[in-house]
Amino acid sequence: MSTAHTSPRNGSRVTRPSRVTWADFWIAAAGTVALYAVGIALYRLIPDDAGLSRGLALYAVSGLAPLGGTLIAIALRRRDRGLFGLRGVAPEWLLIGFAIGLGVVALNIGISSIVAAATPAQDVQTDYRSAATSGVLGFLGTILLGAVLTPIGEEFFFRGVVYNLLARYGAWIATLLSALVFALTHGVNLTTPVAFIVGVSAALLVRRTGSVWPGVVVHAVNNASSSVISVIALQVTTT
């Protein structure tokens, strides 16, 4: 579906898509990949023993790359941000997102424990845990970058762009495929099933509300829980 808009200069009617298009996706994806490449290149310059810096840098790249790619596509294509789910939502939906996030955390703890015991899946969270447990500043940094910036950036791209692009093929196809793509970008490791569950939960909320913000809350609660659990585990093992 497309809608016609009148040009302010000559009064002509210009047809613009009324939903996320493949052109929007490819521009957002190209921008995201380019920013990831730059970020990872800078990350590799950080010494291996600098756990705090490496963890915070990974969180920063994870958030800034998809956020930047999405905003580049919106700017270059002169698109309505609402088409990407960048719109306000009733406060109760944010509370619902928080409650769902807590449920996702509980479910993910169980699933991750089963996967860790049953498979040789690799744990890729070492740098994140090092940052979270490196002191007050490190913990606050992981919350700011990992539980605020990263959820915003990833939800803008994976739900705002990918889900809304795939919605033309059906809500369930969009939900499952966008969650699968999101999960696989984390690699095949202990975080893969966790990321899939977060992705499905966030996509269902976008479907219901038309906004990415409740999904951002789900994502934020999940990411924050990782930092909190890491700190608690450290305290338990050192006392």
Q: Which of 15-29, 59-73, 108-122, 174-188 has the lowest mean pLDDT?
A: 108-122
In terms of Cα–Cα distance, which of 214, 235, 201, 221 is closest to 146?
Answer: 221
Residue 141 reports pLDDT greater than 70: yes
Query: What is residue 65's predicted lDDT score, i.e. its pLDDT?
Result: 97
Cβ-based neighbours of 221, under 8 Å, separated by 6 or more: 97, 98, 101, 102, 104, 105, 147
Residue 1 has pLDDT above 70, yes or no: no
Taking the CA atoms of 96, 102, 107 and 112 in sequence, report the sign of the dihedral they define: positive
- For 48-102, the pLDDT digits (tens) are 888 788 888 989 999 999 999 999 999 999 999 999 999 999 999 999 999 999 9
Residue pair 199/182 in contact by the 8 Å Cβ criterion: yes
